[in-house]
Amino acid sequence: MQTPVNPSRIIAGTMTWGRWGRELDTPAMAGLIDHCLDIGIRTFDHADIYGGYTTEAAFGTALKESGAARENLELISKCGIQYLCESRPNRVKHYQYDKAYIVWSAEQSLKNLKTEYLDLLLLHRPSPLMHPAEVAEAFAVLRESGKVRAFGVSNFTPSQVALISAAAEVSAHQFECSLTAREALYNGVLDDCLQHGRMAMAWSPLGSYFRGEDPARERIAGCLEGLTRRYGASENQLLLAWLMQHPAGIRPVVGTTRPERLKESLEACNLELELEDWFELLVAAQGHKVP
C-alpha cells in the first residue's frame, strides 16, 4: 500500500497551540507555521476536538495570515469523538461514526482550516458501535468529492484496523509510542503497519521521560548520559532517533510550540543509533534484559 500523502519525517502536533495549551494568538500561530515550513516540517496534525473544537479554526485563520501556499503543506485531522464542552450539547463523551457524521465532521474541519481538502483524515478512537461498511461509504463520499485524499485510524488495535480495512483502505495509523510507552512494539500495531504499508505516526513520542521521576526514568537518564556525549546529541534527539529507527518508519508527532525544540527535533532525523545502543536504551527502560 502506498500512502497518497507525503508527510514530513517530523509532524507538528497542534493540540497545545490553542486553548488546550499555549493559547497562541493569530500572529504567533502564523509565525510558528512559517517557522515549521522554513525548517522542513510541512505536516500539521489536528483533531476536531482540540481546544474544545476551537483550535482548527484558530489555525485556519493563522494559515491565511501566514501566506503559506496550501500545496506546500499537509493537513491531518481526526474525527469521531463527541466531546463534552460548551460548543456541543452532549450529555456524555462518546464516539460517532455513522456516514453522515463522518462526512459532516470532515466538512467542518475543512471550513475551520480554511482549506478545500484534507491530506489525511483519521478515525480518532475506536467505537464498539462502528460498522466498516458505514465508514467505507463515508470515506468514498469524501474521496470522490476531493475533500479528503487519504484515510486512516488512530489508537486502534490490530483487529480493529483489520475490521475497517476489510471495507475501506486504511493508509495510516497514529498511536502512542515512545521509549516509555512501548506497547505498540509488541501488541501487533507496528507489525500491522509494516506488513500492510500503513504510515505509522507516534503521538507523545518522548513519553513520560521529561515528566516526573520514577526508576525507569533514572535508568534511561543514566544510559542517555553517555550517549549524548557519544552522538553529540540531546536527550530529546536520542529519544526521537530511538523511535524513528523502527523499520516501520515511525513519524513522531511533536507537540512543542517552541521553535528551537522543533528545529532540534527535526535534526534528530540525521541520527542513527548503533544496534547495541538501541537495545541498551530498551533494556534501561524496561528494567531487565530482553528474553
Q: What is the 3-state secondary structure (H, E, C) of 16-47?
A: CCCCCCCCCCHHHHHHHHHHHHHHCCCEEECC
Verify whether residue 53 is a known catalytic residue.
Answer: no
Cell numbers placing 77: 485531522
The active-site residue out of 50, 53, 97, 209 is 50
Contacts of 97 (CB under 8 A, 6+ apart): 80, 123, 127, 129, 130, 131, 134, 135, 138
Cell numbers placing 273: 543509533
Apex 222 CA angle, 218 and 225, nearest 5: 135
Is-contact 112 56, C-beta < 8 A? yes
What is the C-alpha to C-alpha distance for residues 276 and 253, in angstroms, rounded to an integer?
26
Catalytic residue positions, numbered: 50
